[in-house]
């Protein structure tokens, strides 16, 4: 039932996962992980069996955003069982190491960690949303080249410098023949909670311009909203906590256009 071109049954080589959707960004801090969890939750609210894989090996934030703690089980001592939160299955390197342990790994170690995380014991999933690290490095290439990814969603702020980097991420996926499903513009406008004044902190129209230039859809434009940040920090992302909010509706709108 995932509507469009993105979802082609059987694309994923992971036995129980039908589709992998990668969420990427050119630079860090633009809201990629926030987007990945909320998109996965939006898909789950629409009835998809959804999961989220934190492939941001060097800066895993999905456990915090989903309020996960403790260690995942490994019934056979080899493969790991994903944890569950808010109707999602979730796996992250952050669940396997202490929160303040740095991952001082070169590329091959990081990519082998990614492979192990991918090989978790997922229950049947319609969509696995993969939160990539920022940029265009080893992890992105491993995922794009070794595994048939249904498509990529690129997250950017409207700021020129952010869309410049997002363009590189977009072109990387084009080069490795992963379809770009669309852009999500994040932190587009800030509405003052005191006076209601709307300010375009990172400029206007960046997402729209980039979408038009590359002929990809702008899937959603999210405001800079304190509730989005607070809910992620509290471990209950906005789509789960406030499903009727405008932000949750925007994420569901994006999910339906995949
Ligand atoms: P990235 O994965 O790109 O590094 P994150 O998703 O971790 O970015 O977001 C960076 C910070 O910005 C986090 O503190 C997050 O809660 C906050 N944030 C992300 N999107 C929004 C938003 N739309 N409104 C308010 N805060 C946001």
65 or 110, which is more confident: 65
ipTM above 0.95, yes or no: yes
24 or 105, which is more confident: 24
* Digit-coded pLDDT (tens) for 164-197: 999 999 999 998 889 999 999 999 999 888 898 9
pLDDT for position 9: 44
pLDDT for position 16: 85
Residues contacting 24, CB < 8 A, separation 6+: 32, 132, 134, 140, 152, 153, 154, 155, 169, 173
- Distance of CA 208 from the midpoint of ligand 1 (Å): 20
Q: What is the mean pLDDT of residues 119-125?
A: 91
- Distance of CA 212 from the midpoint of ligand 1 (Å): 25
Ranges assigned E (strand) in the chain: 17-25, 50-54, 83-85, 88-92, 125-131, 151-156, 180-185, 190-191, 198-199, 218-221
144 or 244, which is more confident: 244
Question: Model-level pTM greater than 0.90?
Answer: yes
pLDDT for position 154: 97
The mean pLDDT of the chain is 90
Report CA-CA distances (Å) from 39 to 114, 198, 247, 255: 21, 25, 11, 6
- Distance of CA 35 from the midpoint of ligand 1 (Å): 8
Q: Which residue, by CA, sits nearest to atom 8 of ligand 1?
A: 31
**Burial of 199 (C-beta count, 10 Å sphere; 0-12/13-18/19+):** exposed
Any known ligand binding at 30?
A: yes
What CA dihedral angle connects 61, 64, 68 and 74, to 10 degrees?
A: 20
* Digit-coded pLDDT (tens) for 61-79: 999 999 999 999 998 888 8
What are the pocket residues of ligand 1 if the criterion is a CB atom closer than 6 Å to any ligand atom? 25, 28-34, 61, 186-187, 222, 224-225, 228-229, 232
pLDDT for position 143: 84
Instruction: Give the chain's domains with CATH numbers.
Output: 17-256 (3.40.50.300)
Long-range Cβ pairs for the range 247-250 (8 Å, 24+)? 247/38, 247/222, 247/223, 248/38, 248/42, 250/220, 250/221, 250/222
Q: Which atom of ligand 1 is nearest to the CA of 233?
A: 16
203 or 153, which is more confident: 153
């Amino acid at each position: 039932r995932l509507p469009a071109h993105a979802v082609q049954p059987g694309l994923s080589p992971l036995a129980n996962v039908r589709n992998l959707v990668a969420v990427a960004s050119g630079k860090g801090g633009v809201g990629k992980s926030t987007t990945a969890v909320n998109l996965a939750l939006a898909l789950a609210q629409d009835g998809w069996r959804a999961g989220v894989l934190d492939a941001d090996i060097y800066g895993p934030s999905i456990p915090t955003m989903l309020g996960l703690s403790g260690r995942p089980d490994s019934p056979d001592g080899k493969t790991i069982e994903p944890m569950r939160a808010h109707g999602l299955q979730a796996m992250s390197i952050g669940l396997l190491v202490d929160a303040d342990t740095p991952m001082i790994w070169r590329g091959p170690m990081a990519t082998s960690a990614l492979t192990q995380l991918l090989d978790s014991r997922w229950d049947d999933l319609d969509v696995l949303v993969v939160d990539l690290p920022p940029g265009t490095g080893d992890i992105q290439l491993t995922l794009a080249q070794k595994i048939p990814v249904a498509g990529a969603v690129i997250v950017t702020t409207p700021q020129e410098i952010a869309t410049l980097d997002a363009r590189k991420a977009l072109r990387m996926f084009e080069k490795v023949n992963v379809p770009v499903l669309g852009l999500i513009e994040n932190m587009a406008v800030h509405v003052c909670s005191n006076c209601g004044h709307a300010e375009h902190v990172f400029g206007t129209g960046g997402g729209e311009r980039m979408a038009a230039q590359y002929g990809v859809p702008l899937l959603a434009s999210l405001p800079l909203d304190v509730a989005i940040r607070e809910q992620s920090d509290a471990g209950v992302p906005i789509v789960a906590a406030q499903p009727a909010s405008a932000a949750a509706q925007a994420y569901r709108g994006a999910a339906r256009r995949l």
